[in-house]
Amino acid sequence: MLHLFRHSLLSMIGLALILLVVFIAIFAPLLIQEHPSYVEVSTDQGTTRVEERWDINFENKLLPPGPEHYFGTDDFGRDIYSMVVWGTQISLKLCLMVVLTATIIGVILGGVAGYFGGKIDEIIMRVTDVFLAIPYLILAMAVAAALGRSIENIMMALIVVWWPQYARLLRGQVLSIRENQYVEAARSVGASGWRILFRHILPNSFSPLLVQITLDLGAVLLVAAGLSFIGLGASPGTAEWGLMISMGRTHMFHAWWYVTFPGLAILITVLGFNLLGDGIRDITDPKLRR
């Protein structure tokens, strides 16, 4: 499989970008120049929450990129390079949590709908129709607004929005795989419905699922950054890319670096996932191989 990958330059670039981003996320504490501290703050709901804080130093306010600060500093004198690198962890964690949870929910519901059919299929599919009738960003915005502002709530909102398409995808897979003779053979030796679903159908749905997951990691990051940008995510001062762009917006014309670098970080990560996803699709779908 890997040798096919090598023929596609774009997929190789995608793979390289993702490896780079994962490397940065893992080794972030070693790569940054300044480190965050953690403080306990009270929330709207009366509970407390731990938040990261970056040292404020007004003397270094809005310095352009240079050897001291690779990506310059923000309006509170914080090092943008350190925050962008740190933000890699936050973003990757968010995308993975959202997409994997949505996949699990979608796979179970879609599998049940496709395999057992009948009333339960009808109900699950009508529910997905409703969710898919509202654009992602807008439904997620409404749910996140109802839950209250925080990164965790953005994650919850995105899971709510994202599971239906996995349910659809898996249902379609089940309907086509179910007709194969090996499934019939399993059934004839007395395998239970769940066993057939998990041992026979799910492994055979792996590649379309993997393509969808890879592409969605990027898509989720874009929507999450958008929600942070309008102010639904972390509290100001957190190293979250969408939020940083939103904060830098007022300083855009005299400090271009403030919005530019967090945006490039989002672009590179999403581009990596999209190129990789396209690459996996091309090599797993023989019809597209030319």
User: Does 154 participate in binding other proteins (rule CB under 8 A)?
Assistant: no
- CA distances 179 to 117, 172, 176, 191, Å, are 13, 12, 6, 15
For residues 233 and 224, the answer to whether their CB atoms sit within 8 Å is: yes
User: Does 134 participate in binding other proteins (rule CB under 8 A)?
Assistant: yes
For residues 214 and 15, the answer to whether their CB atoms sit within 8 Å is: no
Cβ burial of 71 (10 Å; 0-12, 13-18, 19+) is buried
User: Does 47 participate in binding other proteins (rule CB under 8 A)?
Assistant: no
Q: Which is nearer to other proteins, 54 or 257 (CB)?
A: 257
Q: Which is nearer to other proteins, 174 or 232 (CB)?
A: 232
Q: Which is nearer to other proteins, 30 or 133 (CB)?
A: 133
Among 231, 236, 285, 289, binds other proteins (CB under 8 A): 231
Backbone angles phi, psi at 185, to 5 degrees: -60, -45
Q: Which is nearer to other proteins, 25 or 232 (CB)?
A: 232
Nearest CA-CA partner of 151 in 1, 271, 43: 43
Kindly state the smallest distance separating residue 169's Cβ from other proteins, in Å: 16
User: Does 12 participate in binding other proteins (rule CB under 8 A)?
Assistant: no
Q: Which is nearer to other proteins, 115 or 258 (CB)?
A: 258
Question: What Rg value do the Cα atoms of the chain yield, rounded?
Answer: 22
Among 150, 229, 282, 283, binds other proteins (CB under 8 A): 229
Kindly state the smallest distance separating residue 71's Cβ from other proteins, in Å: 15
Q: Which two tokens stand for residue 134?
A: 């509202």
Q: Rounding to the nearest 10 degrees, give the CA dihedral for residues 109, 150, 265, 67.
A: -160
CA–CA gap between residue 102 and residue 114 (Å, rounded): 17
CA–CA gap between residue 167 and residue 186 (Å, rounded): 24
User: Does 16 participate in binding other proteins (rule CB under 8 A)?
Assistant: no
Please identify, among the stretches 52-60, 91-99, 190-198, 251-259, the one whose residues bind other proteins according to the rule CB under 8 A: 251-259
Kindly state the smallest distance separating residue 148's Cβ from other proteins, in Å: 8
For residues 11 and 5, the answer to whether their CB atoms sit within 8 Å is: yes
Among 2, 6, 40, 45, binds other proteins (CB under 8 A): 45
Residue numbers at the binding site for other proteins (CB under 8 A): 10, 44-45, 126-127, 129-131, 133-139, 141-143, 145-148, 218, 222, 225-226, 229-232, 242, 245-246, 249, 252-253, 256, 259-260, 263, 266-267, 270-271, 274-275, 278
